[in-house]
Every structure is written in structure tokens, then in C-alpha cells.
Chains A and B, each alone.
Chain A
């Protein structure tokens, strides 16, 4: 009987442990109300702040570590605040569900992580940050990394969030393969269409010996949508352009690239991912993002591959096609301490170099000074790969076109791509069939609802 009681007690303790470890929540309380001044950038801060501040962030692995480190720095610098934070995993939509439910219920944190390519833009949950920016009297162009700010403005001009970090892409290529086949290295200004010409040299072999001009990175679908010189939708997000001739051109090019063997089919990459094809010498080129460049380059060089670096391709009009994945913060309308929240946003974005350096672990910080110095100077590999290429090209990026609210449209686009490149269907017919479906999705999106309400 006693054994059963002990067993029951252990089970209860075990369940409590599971329940409390669902997210890595930490509470830091400091009763020192004197306040301190953080003046690493010369601006006075923290002296008038007090009260509680709750922060919700997403992330796992190195991303969560970087986030935690940056927040801890802020906590250390602001003992006058009673700060709590949670870092919630994004896997299995855990963040989406928890954050959305809390936002809708009005009990979300003061500061919520958000992204311009994700849920959060064009909503009524967050305060407009423009008054805070104006009160600071800061010129954002001088303090925020170029290319990182625009995405946070709503179509109606509201500043929904403030940047923390972003990642974009560049091309890495296998110099040995280029040398072996006598193909000149890709130079700035190359296009996806060019691959149909000089990429032929790399196409060959069968089964395990099959080689390709370029591996099909998961960002390729997004890159290809711009390849024909068009855009997936209007800048104000009201109109789908999936029925445009430019998109048709992109789709036709995509089909030629895959069916011509320049790029692997999804069949080839069902179990061997794109980076593995590159680092095993089976693909001559690969798009690499700031979030995984170091790992890919180290792995490839371990396999004896000499790596060359080039910018991303240009579209039919000569504009660079680069995709940005961005992460920022927003202040909820229900926040009881928006001033402290703004202090956190400001320091995360540009006013705390120590926090920006911590952020560098998971991407390019919004802090322009740190991005252009500390982050840009980070180099790795025998090829001396430098993050400077990401900093230089961030301003040419498109925000990931199919994130969050736009995901249903992205899924339909993925089906279009599959029909064309995997199933070999006629691109024009596929466009005629699916473009209206995307337009239909567009008509249902929240930002259009908001505009209508306004």
C-alpha cells in the first residue's frame, strides 16, 4: 500500500515536471528600484523605467540560446525592471498556437516576437511604434541595418514591429567542378536562365553518380517566383500576380531547369537534402543562407571541396533575387508597460551592442554598427567565407513571400510547381488552373479584411 502511495506521488511529481517544462520560462526579479543607465551608445536609458515586463520569444537550439543571452543582457542592464520571459519552440506550431491564443485573449506578453514574413503584420494586436521612433528622434537609416526596416511597416503605414535580426542568401559553388568542366565561375549578375547554357556541363551520370548544376535548396521556390522579372503580388498585398506573364515565364524556366536535369527533382532530394548533394560533390552550386552557411561550408570543405562565393542570381530585369527571413519584436496593445517594452525593442534593434553581438549567433543583427563590423567580419572555412556578403546584399532582399498569413497561397504555389516540374504539366495550363485559387486566398487574408474595416 505504501509502495503504491509512493508510486502515485512519484507520478504526480513526474507529471508536474512535464507540465512545467513545456517551455523554458524564467523569472528574474530584482527589487532594486534605483535604476541604471545604459549608455553604450551614448543614449540615456532605463532611468525612468520601472514595473514588470514580460517577453515572449520563439526559438530552439542555437536560436533560443542567442535569444536567451540577449534577453539576459537586457535584464542585467535593467535591474529596475521585473522581467519575465519565455522562449517557446516553433516546432509543431507550438508558438503559433500559444501566441495567437494569447493575443486573441488579450493576455499576451508586453513584448511579442514577430516577423514581417510571419503572423503579426496587419493585425490590431500591436501598438504603432512610430510615436516612439519619433520621440527618440533617431534616424533609423543610420542605426538599422539597410534592408531590415521596410518589412515592419503595414500597408497603411503603421509600424507594427521593430527588427532584431534577419538572414539572406548567397551562392556558393564547387570550384573543382567548375574547373573540371571548364566553366567560368558565376559572377555578379548571373541569372537562373544562364544555367540552361553553361549549367549543361554539370548534368550527367545516373543513379548515385548523377550530378547537377544546382541543388534545389528549400528557398528555390521563392527565388524562382521572381526569376521571370515579376512579383507574386502587389506591394500593398491586395492583388495576386500569379496570373502574370512574368510568373508564367518563371514557371516555364523552372520546368526546364528540373526536367533538363540542371536541378534535381524532389525525387532525388526526398531523402538526400540539397546541402548533402552539394557537400558530396553532386551539385556544382547551392544557395546558402546566413543561418546555416557556416555548417555547410565546414562540411563541404571537410569533404575536400574548394568553395567559391557569388551573389544570388538576378531576374530578367537585372534585379537581384534574394530572400529575407526576418525576426523582430512588437509591443502588444494590452501591455501595461509599453515604455519598458520600447526600451527592450530599441536595445534589441540598435541601442545595445552587447545584445546585438549575442544575436549574431543566429543571424545578422538589426544593429547596423554591429552588423557592419562584428558580424560582417565573422569569417570561416578555408575559403575565408565572410558574412559581409550577406550584409552587402540585405538591402536587395524580398521578404519571404509565403510566410505566416500568406502560407496558404504558398502551398498552392508549391502545388503549381509540383504540377509543372514533377508532373510535367503545361505551365500555362497550370497557371490558368491555380492562379485564380491564389487570388481567392488573397481575398480572404486578414490584411485585406483590416483594410476593408478601415
Chain B
């Protein structure tokens, strides 16, 4: 026997209110996220220009990407290179600085502010500033190196160092990762450390046996978010190197931007963006899949 549940007046009003309250978000989600996604997927199979109109060309864009376009694989390789260098480095550095900032030291507020400041500074301004720092003739880094007798590299115009320079610059702005890591570290109950100290555990042992394991949910979060963000790297190489030298810093996001918004090949631009989406999803799923082996939740 089934009982048909009817909503009371209050419940109905709550339901209506619920939908009314989320309506602005829903509208923006449909208009600015879902529709563009569906539209861009459709564009992959067309030769559309700026207007978004074009002819259906089947899998031609994918064929071009995988068989004819020499830059397609290069930009993915460049991006992967950046991700591999940036993400682990950002995790290690943000954890280390987060741990330092969790210690009871003088001027803690000052240091926390200092490390967070680059994150809230305009990305364009930061990039231009680093352009000066990396300038091989007039830059600060090469000047400092020259003081100890080292001739610095041509950071931004040598294809061996250009991406490294971009990684270094990106690492300067990981204030948010540090803040999240700090919150994760501070969330660990102090009693664990007290017990460890009583048992004679060194600081290093405490870090490896308590802090890191209990911080793995935070590390996992930073890893996923950082990886997704790193795959979409755009501003720094776009402003600093324009993808050069010899396309060594041309990333996927830059390449899809050029195709879609500079050359007017919306169809091909959409194809590149969907390839990027698939790769990001694949990598994220791998990280998610491995998490059960190394992420520990204290509950």
C-alpha cells in the first residue's frame, strides 16, 4: 500500500523559496556554463568562425589536431612539463611555509601577510615585475649571479630555461595554497604532538609521522585544484614570453585562445579546449583513484 505524501503549506513555501533563492545561480549556470559547454562541444564538429556559425565538418578538427597540426602535441607537452614541475613544487613549498607559519614565532601575523600578499597582487603586475627580474641583461637574478661570478642564463629567451622561469614566477604566488595548508596543519589536534614529544619524537619525526599524514586531505585538495589550475596556465606565458622562444612556453590555453580569438577558428579552438578538458578529467580521476592509498582522514 503506497502512501502519497503531500506537502504542507510550509513545506511548499520552503520549496518555492528554495528554488527562488537558487534561481539566480541556476540561471547563470545554464546561461554561462551549461549552454557554452554544449555549444562548444557542438563547435568541435564545425568550421565556425568568430560568429559561432559554420558548417558541420564531422571529425575534421580532431583529425587536424591529431594528424596534421605539429603544434598540437607540442603545446600539450609544454603544459604537461609545466604541471609536472609546478604542482609538486607548489605542494612541497606551500606545506613547508604553512608548517613554518604554524609555529609560535614572533611577527607571525606579518609573515602570514607577506606570504599571502603575492596571491592578491594583480597577476599582470606580478608577471611584468618578474619580466624585469628575469631580464638577462638588466635583471636582478642575473645581477646577483654575476656578483658571485656566474653568468646567468637568458631566462626567458632560452627554450631550456623559459618554462622554468615561468614555474618560478608561478611559485611566488602560492599564498592561497599556503593558507589552506596552514589551516590543515592547525586543524591537527595538539595532543598528538604532545604525546609524540613525551615519547621523544624529534621534530622531523613529528612532521613525517603526524603532520604530513594528517594533512593529506589538505594536500589532496591542493593537488587536485593545483593540477586543474596548472593545466590551464595562460597569463604568465602570454604576457611574459608570448609562447616563445620557439613555442617552448606555448601552452594549451594559449593555443586555444589564439585559434579561437585571434585567428577566428572557433571550431578548432573548441576542439583543443575539449581535449584539454578530457585530459584534466583523466588526470583528476587518476589522482582521485590513488587517494584511497595515501589520503588519511582522522575519522
Contacts and interface: CB of A to CB of B under 8 A. Distances in A.
Interface of A: 92-93, 96-97, 100-105, 119, 207-208, 210, 264-268, 270-272, 407-408, 411, 414-415, 418-419, 422-423, 425, 437, 440
A243 B159 CA distance: 25
A207 B264 contact: no
B156 interface: yes
Interface stretch (B79-87, B222-230, B242-250): B242-250
Given A119-B264, A408-B263, A104 B51 contact: yes
A415 B247 contact: yes
Contact of B156 (A102, A267, A414): A267
A87 B132 CA distance: 34
Contacts of B53: 104-105
A383 B215 CA distance: 68
Name the 6 nearest CB pairs between A and B, nearest first.
A104-B51, A100-B50, A267-B157, A271-B131, A422-B245, A267-B154
A101 B50 contact: yes
A249 B135 CA distance: 30
Contact of B263 (A207, A272, A407): A407
Given A100-B51, A101-B52, A270-B131, A423 B246 contact: yes
Given A96-B264, A270-B134, A418-B246, A265 B154 contact: yes
A103 B154 CA distance: 45
Contacts of B49: 100, 104
Nearest to B259: A408
B245 A207 contact: no
Contacts of A407: 262-263
Contact of B136 (A93, A100, A103, A267): A267
A418 B244 contact: yes
Given A93-B262, A411-B258, A265 B157 contact: yes
Contacts of B146: 207
Interface of B: 49-53, 68, 70, 128, 131-132, 134-139, 142-143, 146, 154-159, 240-241, 244-247, 258, 261-264
A271 B128 contact: yes
Given A265-B157, A270-B131, A415-B246, 20 more contacts: A93-B262, A96-B261, A96-B264, A100-B264, A119-B264, A207-B142, A208-B137, A265-B154, A267-B135, A267-B156, A267-B157, A268-B135, A268-B138, A271-B132, A271-B134, A271-B135, A407-B262, A418-B244, A422-B244, A423-B159
B257 to A, nearest CB: 9
Contacts, number: 98
A210 B137 contact: yes
B28 to A, nearest CB: 12
A264 to B, nearest CB: 8
A51 B139 CA distance: 60
11 contacts: A97-B261, A100-B49, A100-B51, A104-B53, A207-B137, A266-B244, A271-B135, A415-B246, A418-B244, A419-B245, A440-B68
Contacts of A266: 156-157, 244-245
B135 A423 contact: no
A285 B299 CA distance: 71
Contact of A270 (B70, B156, B247, B262): B156
Given A210-B137, A411-B258, A418-B246, A105 B131 contact: no
Contacts of B263: 407-408
A209 to B, nearest CB: 9
A207 B261 contact: no
Contacts of B68: 440
A103 B137 contact: no
A415 B247 CA distance: 7
A422 B157 contact: yes
B52 A267 contact: no
A103 B240 CA distance: 34
A119 B263 CA distance: 10
* Residue from B143, B158, B244, B247 with most neighbouring chain A CB atoms (10 Å): B244
B240 A270 contact: yes
* Residue from B49, B50, B135, B137 with most neighbouring chain A CB atoms (10 Å): B137
A104 B264 CA distance: 12
B175 to A, nearest CB: 24
Nearest to B153: A267
B181 to A, nearest CB: 32
Contacts of A271: 128, 131-132, 134-135, 138-139
Contacts of A103: 51
Nearest to A430: B246
Contacts of A96: 50, 261-262, 264
Nearest to A441: B263
Contacts of A100: 49-51, 264
A132 B177 CA distance: 64
A265 B153 CA distance: 13
* Residue from B68, B240, B247 with most neighbouring chain A CB atoms (10 Å): B247
Contact of B50 (A97, A208, A270): A97
Contacts of B138: 207-208, 268, 271-272
A1 to B, nearest CB: 15
A270 B135 contact: yes
A57 to B, nearest CB: 18
Nearest to A99: B50
Contact of B157 (A207, A270, A272): A270
Nearest to B265: A408
A437 B157 CA distance: 23
A422 B134 contact: no
A408 B128 CA distance: 26
Contacts of A92: 261
A321 B21 CA distance: 64
